[in-house]
Amino acid sequence: MKKIYIIIGIFFILIVLLLLIVIGTVILLLGIGENPAGNIARIDIDGVLTLQPEGTYPFREEISVEDYIEALDKAEMDPNIKAIILRVNSPGGEVIASEKLARKIKEVSEKKPVVAYVETIATSGAYMAIAPANCIVAEKHSIVGSIGVRMDVIQYYELMRKLGINVTVIKAGKYKDICSPYRPMTPEEKKYLEHMINETYIDFVRWVAENRNMTVEETLKVANGKIYSGYDAKKAGLVDYVGTEEDAVKIAQKLANISHPMVVDYTPHIYTGFFNLMSSLAYSLGYGIGKGFGEIWIETHTFYPPSVTY
């Protein structure tokens, strides 16, 4: 009799898990809810800007740049939304992620007024992203700027030598092991990488100059990696106003000619908890099975680049 109860209990648990997976899959496909009515969309841009957040999909709790772009698309296409406020708390991030978000914000700003509100920090790639906004408002003691590019190359050949560890690299192609942690970088390699970084830096400077109505020479004076308070950023020409979120709403209202502003949250969300785990698990299982039957993935000749960030 006891075995029967155990079997029934296990069967019941499996049914519940199956229902959760099915419901979770439907939610993933259809989305969770609709944006409530409003005429000003607010999108929070928080944390490091990345294309692929760390962690596997079921346990992802970070928002990617692709999520922000999707939110901007929705706000752009919604006829009820007349203006967009970007509430920024980001130190920047990956080069490509920052550039993709910047291009999207520029695209949207040419169709609807976009006001960027720097609540705590908008530096590096985050500043690049909001530079095309129609107006930038920053809190007096927020942090703005840090216009520059960096590349981090980790090398531990000295430690390996002390530990008696040796690595033999067999390569075809002169620069195939550039940035190798197993040996010192040659002056020629360093010069080559510096050239790449300088090209990226000049593109950053030109982007800021173009979108902030500054000359390249004026931008270069403030684009030395230095950070500014919101107050000093105003004097440097990097923001338009020193103010609060309420000020940002008033500016958006004026730019969009809105009589009664109603702010609605368009920020993409990652739903956490057991229910989200089940729904995400369903997606991951389906994706994994599809990959298993659809192809055999072989990775070879891989180059692991150093970290390059804004």
A 10 A CB-CB count for 122 gives 33
> Which residues neighbour 22 within 8 Å (Cβ) at sequence distance 6 or greater?
282
From 90, 124, 142, 146, the catalytic residue: 124
176 is catalytic: yes
Which whole-number Å values give the CA distances from 198 to 7, 202, 203, 209, 218, in the listed order?
A: 67, 6, 9, 16, 18
Q: Considering Cα of 109, then 112, then 113, then 119, what sign does the dihedral take?
A: negative
98 is catalytic: no
Give the separation between CA 87 and CA 116, rounded to whole angstroms.
6
From 140, 176, 226, 291, the catalytic residue: 176
DSSP β-bridge partners for residue 114: 84
Among candidate residues 271, 267, 268, the one with its CA nearest the CA of residue 41 = 267
- Residues labelled as active-site residues: 124, 176
